[in-house]
């Protein structure tokens, strides 16, 4: 997906990060493990070219109460001293469907009424003024766990709330970085791109049709999985102790867009199938409803594996023969009296 965004460079930027959606704050906790770059590297300007960053996140902040909320109110009133990036964590509830005397979630109090100020009002006021709006984690991107069938809150993702035609003050649509929780370096790499773009040093961030960064979510879990070769050979795991392909025990990797098998979880280590866990599709818009029940063989798995039962054993047999052949040294490597390499001298000795 291509969009036209502002290329005017900025020297300083605030990151207003709210996790007041339906959230467990797991994405904030996850990002503290990032290293490419780390959140500390960004805040301390250890990364060349990015603007000076002021981070406002309740989990990571020193300020509390009114001191913490002040920049949010200033941004809503158009009084902040620099452009800001709005990071939204957690599902967006529908404040139109509950009783008149209640609300689903809020952050601080409205100074005029003294009543809690709902997340929805914050989004209405902040999103259009933000240079960029980034949804972190599957709850914020697509609704996630809180938006599954039967929920009483009418939860939704940020694009569902703001609309597909939404564009930020920087000319960008909502940027979605899904994951439950988000893979830490996926988010920080995306944020770094946005910061470089805000500084006028990067082109418009490339997004796919679900508004995810293309270079991070362009391939499936299966395409990066160390177990993928077992799949084409119809060599499947039947329990969680096996190193083989886990499709038969519930892995959705062949149809899920995620790079965790390539990137790992922290410093290249981990990632669901890499450590024996099945992929449950947590980076996808249909999660969790379209991937349940977890741990059951995915739809189509029986048909595809049945077709592989003919092709797979044949390939496995042929490969084992070739492996046995190339797994031995050539016969001319010996200390005997004669040279048996096939060497033919151009000028034979007299």
Q: 72-125, pLDDT tens digit by residue?
A: 999 999 999 999 999 999 999 999 987 677 889 999 999 989 999 999 999 999
- pLDDT tops 60 at residue 213: yes
Integer Cα distance of 223 and 201 in angstroms = 32
What pLDDT, on the 0 to 100 scale, is given for residue 8? 60
| Per-residue pLDDT at 177 | 98
DSSP, res 289: G
* Residue 281 reports pLDDT greater than 60: yes
Sign of the CA dihedral with 203 first, then 208, 211, and 217 last: negative
Give the C-alpha separation, 145 to 125, whole Å. 26
Asked if omega into 138 is within 30° of 0 (cis), the reply is: no
**61, pLDDT greater than 70:** yes
The CATH code belonging to domain 12-216 is: 3.40.50.700
Note the pLDDT tens digit of each residue in 303-314.
666 666 677 787
Query: Among residues of the chain, what percentage have pLDDT more than 90?
Result: 71
pLDDT digits (tens, 9 = 90+) for 134-176: 999 999 999 999 999 999 999 999 999 999 999 999 999 999 9
Is the domain spanning 222-291 CATH 4.10.480.10? The answer is yes
Q: What is the pLDDT at residue 1?
A: 58
Confidence tier at 266 by pLDDT (50, 70, 90)? confident
Instruction: Give burial (CB, 10 Å; 0-12/13-18/19+) of 24.
Output: middle
| For residues 53-72, average pLDDT | 94
pLDDT at 99: 66
Taking residues 52-61, report their average pLDDT.
94
Domain ranges of the chain: 12-216, 222-291
pLDDT of 301: 59
pLDDT in the model for residue 305: 63
Checking 261-266 for CB contacts under 8 A at 24+ apart, the result is 261/221, 261/222, 261/224, 261/225, 261/226, 262/219, 262/224, 263/183, 263/185, 263/186, 265/33, 265/183, 265/184, 266/33, 266/35, 266/184
Token pair 């990797």 is at which residue? 253
pTM of the model: 0.86
pLDDT at position 231 is: 86
pLDDT band for position 316 (cuts 50, 70, 90): confident
Q: Taking 80 as the threshold, does the pLDDT of residue 302 lie above it?
A: no
Same fold, 12-216 and 222-291: no
Mean pLDDT of the 245-264 span? 93
* Mean pLDDT taken over the chain: 91
Whether residue 4 has pLDDT greater than 60: no
| pLDDT for 303 | 62
Counting Cβ atoms within 10 Å, is residue 306 exposed (0-12), middle (13-18) or buried (19+)? exposed
């Amino acid at each position: 997906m291509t969009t036209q965004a502002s290329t005017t460079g900025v020297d300083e930027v605030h990151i207003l990060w709210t996790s007041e959606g339906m959230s467990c704050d797991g994405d904030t906790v996850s990002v503290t493990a990032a290293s490419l770059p780390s959140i500390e590297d960004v805040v301390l300007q250890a990364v060349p070219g990015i603007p000076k960053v002021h981070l406002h996140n309740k989990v990571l902040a020193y300020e509390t109460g009114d001191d913490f909320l002040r920049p949010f109110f200033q941004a809503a009133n158009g009084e902040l001293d620099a452009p800001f990036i709005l990071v939204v964590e957690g599902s967006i509830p529908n404040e139109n469907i509950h009783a008149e005397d209640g609300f689903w979630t809020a952050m601080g109090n409205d100074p005029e009424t003294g009543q809690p100020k709902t997340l929805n009002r914050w989004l209405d006021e902040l999103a259009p003024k933000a240079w960029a709006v980034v949804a972190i984690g599957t709850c914020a991107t697509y609704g996630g766990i809180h938006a599954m069938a039967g929920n009483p809150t009418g939860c939704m993702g940020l694009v569902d709330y703001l609309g597909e035609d939404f564009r930020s003050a920087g000319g960008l649509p909502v940027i979605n970085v899904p994951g439950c929780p988000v893979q830490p370096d996926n988010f920080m790499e995306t944020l770094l791109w946005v910061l470089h773009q805000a500084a006028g040093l990067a082109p418009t961030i490339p997004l796919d049709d679900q508004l995810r960064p293309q270079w991070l979510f362009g391939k499936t879990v299966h395409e990066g999985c160390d177990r993928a070769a077992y799949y084409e050979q119809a060599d499947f795991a039947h329990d969680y102790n096996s190193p083989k392909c886990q499709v038969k025990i519930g892995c959705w990797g062949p149809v899920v867009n995620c790079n965790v098998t390539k990137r790992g979880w922290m410093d290249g280590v981990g990632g669901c199938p890499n450590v024996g866990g099945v992929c449950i599709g947590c980076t996808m818009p249909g999660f969790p409803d379209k991937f349940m029940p977890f741990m059951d063989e995915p739809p189509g798995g029986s048909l595809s594996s049945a077709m592989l039962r003919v092709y797979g054993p044949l390939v496995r047999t042929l490969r084992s023969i070739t492996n046995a052949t190339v797994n031995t040294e050539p016969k001319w490597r010996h200390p005997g009296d004669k040279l048996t390499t096939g060497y033919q001298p151009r000028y034979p000795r007299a």
